[in-house]
Chains A and B, each alone.
Chain A
Amino acid sequence: MNSLRPTPPQERWMAVAARLRIPLDHPWMPTRMGGWTASSLMARCAFFVLGAVAGGLTVGVFNLLHIGDGFLPAGLTMLIAAEWLILRKRLFHSGVEEVLWAGGLLAVVVAVVEATGDSGVRSTLLVALALAIAGFRLLNPLFTTLAAVAASLAIDFAGGHRLIGEPDVAVTASVFCYATGVIALLAGRFEFRRPSHDRMLSWLAVIMPLGGFLWLVSEHSLAIRIFTGLAGTAFGVAALIIGVRRRAHALLIACLVCFGCAAFQLRDLTALSIKVKLILWGSAALLLALGLNRYLRTPRRGITSRQLGEGSSAALDLVQLASAAALSPKPSPAAPQFKGGGGTFSGGGADGSY
């Protein structure tokens, strides 16, 4: 039995349990999952945050103890804690062990960089390497994607640029991002035994084209704007076609992201003001979505706009509610009439004073 992480069949059973919402205590599951336990998306996010805070505090504690600058001992402690959680408690994709492992390795990298005084290129490459190692050790798509993003940063540093938005052109870094996205898109056609490998490619296909766009978004030369607009459109169309064929949600999201980038690059096509463009683009997207929603109510070639199964996850539902509330107009005092200090317990107190 592979005790370092779940075997591919064990990971597949965990994915099935998540997809079909089979409770963990179902007698069918524990033996097939080999004793490994994972968290739901919501708990994983909470554990990730708690683990990140714990990691930060560990660095702080070692720093206050004056053991070096705290990074090396804290990093090693976090790595040991993460491995203990994985090997002894058999946690997989639970959030806390992931953030401790990646955070620990990054803390070690920071200590090494501080000790050696490495250049931007070398330190960024080290960060990319650390994230890649963490990603493959934990089979975590977030870390592998961040590793690719850090690699693009190292490429830009190697070209002599220091900050995003500086006048120099970061074409090489952008091309690297687009190329990584294309490779992920094409590699997705192979069938993987591990669901996590599939997810790694999905994340790369969504994030890397966006990274490629962001590297050049501040450039105003026509050639670059045409390049990013065309690259975004081409990637979006390819992702749409392949996503529909493979029935892959991630590629459809990649398509939406790329079309958003292309729409942004078309901002100067007309002399319309930003508010009019927002209303026009928003209305166009609304009408398109309403039309698609109606058209796909009856499944077309198996594609439907109806919700399947037991509905979306609790996490997505919460995100929907929170985002609806976030859109509500924020209260602001009417300038000419507003008098500070008007807030009382009975009157709302929007000014926050009493």
Chain B
Amino acid sequence: MNSLESECLELSAAAVIDEAASARAVAQERGAIFSVFEELRFVLYAAVAAITTGLGLVLKYNLDRIGPVTLIAALALIAAGCYATALRTRFKGKTRSLGGDYVLLLGALIASADLGYAESQFHWLGSEWQWHLLMLAVFHAATAYALDSRLVLCASLAALAGWFGIEGHIAALFEANGSAGALGAHAVICSVTILVCRAANHRLGGSAQFDSVFENFAANVGFWGALGLCLNPGTRLAGIAILCALAAACVAKALSSNEEVFAVYGAAYGSLTLCCLEVQVIRPLLLGALLALATIIVGAMLLWNIHRRLKAPP
């Protein structure tokens, strides 16, 4: 056991923290108030993951026994039930609880699985089957805005990434069949699209929390795209240019908005990608390894300097 109560009281006496913060901190240290929010979040996530995995298996192996129409209707009904709880909270003018957030996410995931399954059974879109992912992205985005849900917005962006052909294919970046460049180009275009959505959200007065979701997705997808381009000989120069631009943009964003995560993206993704490139391209190998080591050290120093400048709490 470990109690930091005496330090909290000292901070309060010195007016480093205000009275409310002090009272809360002392209550937490004494155990007078204890939040199980994170534990519940973990259980809710595990539950939603188990249900969606189970439903995925049902869709995969039970086609003949149940029949597609029954399955599609049943899943649509369950998804509608999940959405109904969120709508009910919305119409009552209440704030959705943590549990409500995850029930809504479950509804969105079931809707995704249902539409994908329906498309695979009835081939409404024929050879352009990928378009159902874009439909899903739009549907989830509309739901996310209507019900103010960051989790559903994540499902929307995941569907968008799937439409661009990059969802679940990160490992392909390292395959030797030359697909890294194409995948990288798709990822970069996806990242730009997400940034356009972010700009539209900002311009149209959308939620500031959504801005953060867009930015984090755009940065991650963009860096993976740059890595893909860098690993392909034909697109290497474009990849390096995009990598440098992205890293600079992330560092600038970190410094302007005091968000350390973007400094981590800029320094870590940037130096690790350059490191991969140097080991792959530069010969003799010893020189490549030395340069890669120097790049990593520079990346770590850059991150440390930004970290010091942001003065983030430990």
Contact = CB atoms under 8 A, between A and B. Distances in A.
Given A247-B31, A334-B123, A348-B130, A18 B42 contact: no
Contacts of B277: none
Nearest to A21: B313
A308 B268 contact: no
Contact of A347 (B24, B121, B131): B131
Which one of A16, A37, A308 has the highest number of Cβ atoms from chain B below 10 Å of its Cβ? A16
A290 to B, nearest CB: 4
Given A13-B7, A50-B296, A350 B97 contact: no
Interface residues of A, number: 117
Given A13-B7, A18-B314, A40-B313, A256 B98 contact: no
Given A329-B113, A352-B183, A25 B16 contact: no
Interface string A292-321: 111011010011111111001010101011
Contacts of B271: 50
Contact of A324 (B14, B56, B151, B285): B151
Contacts of A290: 44, 99, 103
Contacts of B38: 249, 312, 316
A296 B36 contact: yes
Contacts of A50: 267-268, 271-272, 296, 299-300, 303
A39 B162 contact: no
A160 interface: no
Which one of A13, A194, A281, A352 has the highest number of Cβ atoms from chain B below 10 Å of its Cβ? A352
A313 B247 CA distance: 23
Given A16-B11, A24-B311, A328 B267 contact: no
B314 A24 contact: yes
B16 A306 contact: no
B313 A24 contact: yes
A165 interface: no
Contact of B165 (A276, A296, A303, A348): A348
A43 B106 CA distance: 32
A285 B28 CA distance: 27
Interface string B242-267: 00000000000000000111011001
Nearest to B32: A302
Given A303-B36, A334-B119, A279 B51 contact: yes
A220 interface: no
B157 A325 contact: yes
B182 to A, nearest CB: 6
Interface stretch (A59-67, A134-142, A173-181, A222-230): A59-67
Interface string A122-146: 0000000000000000000000000
Given A42-B260, A275-B57, A294-B97, A324 B155 contact: yes
Contacts of B280: none
A308 B61 CA distance: 44
A303 B229 CA distance: 51
Chain B's interface size range is 35 or more
A350 B57 CA distance: 22
Nearest to B287: A64
Nearest to A275: B57
A299 B242 CA distance: 51
A261 to B, nearest CB: 13
Contacts, number: 342
A342 B35 contact: no
A57 B51 contact: no
Nearest to B291: A57
Interface string B11-40: 100101100010011001001111111111
Nearest to A92: B314
Nearest to B4: A16
B36 A304 contact: yes
Contact of A43 (B16, B161, B260): B260
Interface string B117-137: 001110100111111011000
Nearest to A280: B54
B123 A282 contact: no
A65 B62 CA distance: 59
A352 B182 contact: yes
Contacts of B51: 278-279, 282-283, 286
Contacts of A334: 119-121, 123, 129
B154 interface: yes
B192 to A, nearest CB: 12
B127 A338 contact: yes
Contacts of A321: 150-151, 154, 213, 216
Given A321-B213, A337-B123, A285 B130 contact: no
B50 interface: yes
B112 A286 contact: no
A108 to B, nearest CB: 19
A323 B151 CA distance: 9
A337 B50 CA distance: 30
Contacts of B58: 275, 279
B247 to A, nearest CB: 13
A191 interface: yes
Given A50-B299, A305-B37, A349-B186, A283 B47 contact: yes
Contact of A352 (B16, B24, B179, B275): B179
22 contacts: A16-B4, A18-B313, A20-B25, A23-B312, A42-B260, A46-B303, A49-B268, A49-B272, A53-B275, A54-B297, A57-B289, A191-B1, A197-B2, A247-B31, A289-B99, A292-B40, A297-B97, A308-B35, A325-B217, A331-B133, A343-B165, A352-B165
Given A42-B260, A305-B37, A329-B56, 9 more contacts: A22-B16, A24-B314, A286-B47, A297-B97, A302-B32, A304-B34, A308-B37, A321-B150, A324-B154
Closest 9 CB pairs of A and B: A282-B50, A278-B54, A38-B314, A328-B158, A275-B57, A279-B54, A282-B51, A285-B47, A348-B130
